[in-house]
Amino acid sequence: MRYLSLLATVFAFSAVFNTSVPAADIWWPGPDYPKPQKASSPAWLLTQKLNFSRWDGGPLEVCKGMLSGWPYFNAPWPSVVDATSRWYDPETVELAEAMGYNFIWLTFNVGYSIEKERHQWDLLRAYVDACHARDIRVAAYMSSTNMFVDDMFVREPQSKEWQLLDEKDEPIPYGAASYTRIGRITRVRADLTNPEWKAYMKKRIDAAIETGFDAIEYDNTWWVIKGKRSEKMLAEFLKKNGFVDTREARFIFQIEVMKRLFLEMLDYARKRKPDIVLFANVNRPKYIIGRGCNIISTEDGYEPGYYRFQQSHEIRSMDTLKPVWEDVFVDIDAEPFDPEMLVTNLGRLRLLKGLSEGWKPVIVEFGGRRNGHRFLNHYPPLGFQLAIGECNAALASLQGFQEGLPLLHLYERKPEVMKIAEAVNKAHHFVSEHQGYFLGARYKADVAFVTDDRLPVFQGKLPREGFLTDLIRANIQFDVLFEDRISKKNLRRYQCIVVYDAKLISDEALAVLISHAREGGRMIVFGQTGAMDRWGQPREENPMPSGGRWKTARNEMALINFIHENTTPSFEVINCPYVLFTITEGGQSGKKGFVVHLLNYQKQPLVNVRVRCPGVEKLHLLSLTPGCEQIRKDATGNEWVIPALGVYSMLVVEG
């Protein structure tokens, strides 16, 4: 009765604005399409750990690079242009196999007309077959909004009406091109709500399926409420639902429009090929769009390691730059530890895993490089292994990147890059050997971190970005929970709950959180939690900050202190801040217990690393780094010692 009374109270608060509308009762323009389901996804997607890479190439990739002003294509390097054009020669499939990849994407559509892109499609037929012969699955890379104006406006004159317009009814250019190098705008955005544009996209899907692709990957995902057409769509949405216009409501509408595009494309593709997979490259704060796909994917991320990060997006003269092949180490005896030099992606990976609905694979590219630009450098060997290890620890997959100079050196089988390829293969082989620890596994978390899908937690300077990184650096084990996972049963799994600025949250989820605290659950609340409902509509009275059986935090340090006071960790690394870890459990290994994924951000082996694992008598260390497989109890019997800790290890705690 107490819970029912509470629920009624919460509904009463929100009813003032009449904004508590269940998702099923929300009016949207156009039809609804089914969401991706685990049961309808192909076995190859779910029964293997994906080792994935971009595999961009062919004449289309060269043309795209030249008309985008990208390094090595404008001004063009003849050797890079030649290697990229020939990238789909059959023998390069051996390179993908040599690096241990079992899933790659191929350039299929970049924004030219169908007539002009058919040449590339014909090239790809034999390449797709060669990949399949080696058990490598392939995705067709497509652009969801890009149009190259010189070609499209001539061969498809009606495409002038497909452009996305701004508030001045001017076309919106693609944003990541260097038009100053070209001297004019060459790429514009299409309006992905335009029926004729969507019909054109579906013709490309038909061609990809006929070519034999297993998946479709969309890039350039972007739509904004600016022009008269988009403002009219928003106004109709608000009026039909009785909503008021807020910044948050606009965000929700914008995201939902993009997500619904992919639901429509997936529905169309599955009617042609039932086991097709669809995913999209989406960047923050739009990760929630991945809910309309079979895979969660982004290119947000940074080369992990211990170094002073400086983002470099622009390369001036390529002729003055030389690639860096070797791992560079910081002398840990020469300076005190600086947490800002610990560059990690584990916070973002946990957030993305929170969007996965418990089954969708997560694939992430770490595009920010320690040295220069991703068009200039591969990761060095141990850096590449650390990046793969980070994704392993987060039950995700690293997306490789081969473009520009790295592609040329791989195409030439340059000895330095083949050493990198060998290191990548060893990391992927290690995953294959121990695949049962990854498939079906989940985080063993002490803390539920509740936030909303606007991702307010991502703030601050790159690459730290926000509070999730602070939690990671403190080796706090947490799950990111969005409101679809907030239930009384689920919350009981955690030692405490941190509600972080969940400004947009449904009445149902809010009621469960309040009830959990009233029934003795340890919970702390920060920020504007509960100020709006799920659709960005203000609550006149918000029950969350008004006081209750939960604590409130004025700053993020109070959240850290609350976690330490209300959790008892099952594993600790003693006085070694260069090591981060993630704990997972479950999986298909058939063994009970849990796994600690240990990451050494120094990369060279650390000596005599001490760990604590209370109540455990049997540990087994699996190490990617040769000669780093030993662990022993210390003289007191209370701690364990790892004599040499490599770049990535799995500590198996049995029983």
pLDDT in tens, 529-542: 999 999 999 998 88
Mean pLDDT, the chain, whole residue set: 92
382 and 415 assigned to the same domain: yes
CB 372 within 8 A of CB 380: no
pLDDT tier at 18, thresholds 50, 70, 90: very low
pLDDT at 11 over 50: no
Q: Whole domain around residue 465: which residue ranges?
A: 445-565
Q: Which two tokens stand for residue 130?
A: 């060669």
Of the three residues 385, 408, 433, the one that is the final residue of a domain is 433
Would you put residue 97 in left (φ > 0), alpha (ψ -120 to 50) or beta? Answer: alpha
**Encoding tokens for residue 37?**
């389901």
Clarify whether residues 392 and 288 are in a common domain.
Answer: yes
CA distance 370 to 99: 22
- pLDDT score, position 7: 38
Comparing 314 with 639, the larger pLDDT belongs to 639
44, part of any domain: no
Residues 451 and 420 in one domain: no
What distances in angstroms separate CA 97 from CA 87, 138, 636, one per listed residue? 14, 13, 48
In which residue are the tokens 């099923």 written? 24
Q: CB-side exposure of 89: number of CA atoms within 13 Å?
A: 11
**Residue pLDDT, tens place only, 141-193:** 999 999 999 999 999 999 999 999 999 999 999 988 889 889 999 999 999 99
Note the residue count of the chain. 655
Residues 166 and 310 placed together within one structural domain of the fold: yes
Evaluate whether residue 374 is within a structural domain. Answer: yes
Q: Are residues 623 and 547 in the same domain?
A: no
Report pLDDT digits (tens) over 234-248: 999 999 999 999 999
Q: 463 and 405 in one domain? A: no
Question: pLDDT tens across 62-98, in order?
Answer: 999 999 999 899 989 999 999 999 999 999 999 999 9
Whether the Cβ atoms of residue 505 and residue 534 lie closer than 8 Å to each other: yes
Q: What is the mean pLDDT of residues 432-444?
A: 96
Q: What is the largest CA-CA distance in the chain?
A: 79
Residue 353 pLDDT > 90, yes or no? yes
Among 545, 28, 444, 503, CA closest to 285: 503
Which of 379, 403, 433 is a domain's end point? Answer: 433
Using an 8 Å Cβ cutoff, are 216 and 142 in contact? Answer: yes
- The pLDDT of residue 197 is above 90: yes
CA pair distance 465, 346, nearest whole angstrom: 12
Last-in-domain residue among 398, 433, 468: 433
pLDDT of residue 591: 84
The answer to whether 16 and 540 have CB atoms below 8 angstroms apart is yes
Contact 543, 9 (CB under 8 A): yes
CA dist., res. 613 & res. 572, Å (int) = 7
Q: What tokens were used for 28?
A: 């949207």
Amino acid at the residue 238: L
The more confident residue out of 638 and 104 is 104
209 shares a domain with 131:
yes
Does residue 181 share a domain with residue 56?
yes
Assigned domain for 16 exists: no
Which residues are 306's β-sheet partners?
342
Residues 6+ apart with CB under 8 A from 556: 467, 470, 526
CATH number of domain containing 587: 2.60.40
Domain identity same for 425 and 468: no
Band (462; pLDDT cuts 50, 70, 90): confident
Please report whether residue 264 resides in a domain: no
- The string of DSSP letters for 49-94 reads ---EEEE--HHHHHHHHHTTT-TTBTTBPHHHHHHHHTTTSGGGHH
| Residue 518 pLDDT | 94
**Closest C-alpha to 31, from 188, 214, 315, 260:** 260
What average pLDDT score do residues 490-509 get?
Answer: 96
Report if residue 37 sits inside a domain. Answer: no
In a domain, 472, yes or no: yes
Would strands 447-450 and 496-500 be described as parallel, antiparallel, or unpaired?
parallel
Domain of residue 61, CATH code = 3.20.20
Is residue 91 one of the residues assigned to a domain? yes
Which H, E and C letters describe 435-459, residue by residue? HHHCCCEEECCCEEEECCCCCCCEC
Classify residue 45: in a domain, yes or no. no
Show the tokens assigned to 47.
Answer: 């029964």
Q: What was the pLDDT predicted at 316?
A: 64
What is the C-alpha separation between 462 and 262, in angstroms, rounded?
A: 30
How does 328-349 read in b/e, with b if 16+ C-beta sit within 10 Å? eebeeeeeeeeeeebbbbbbbb
* 140 & 289 share domain: yes
Q: Residue 545 maps to which CATH number?
A: 3.40.50
Answer yes or no: do 391 and 410 share one domain.
Answer: yes
Query: Structure tokens of 576?
Result: 């070694």
Distance CA 486, CA 523 (A): 13
How many structural domains compose the chain?
3
463 prior amide bond cis, ω within 30: yes
Q: Are residues 297 and 404 in the same domain?
A: yes
Which tens digits make up the pLDDT trace of 308-349? 887 655 566 677 778 888 998 888 778 899 999 999 999 999
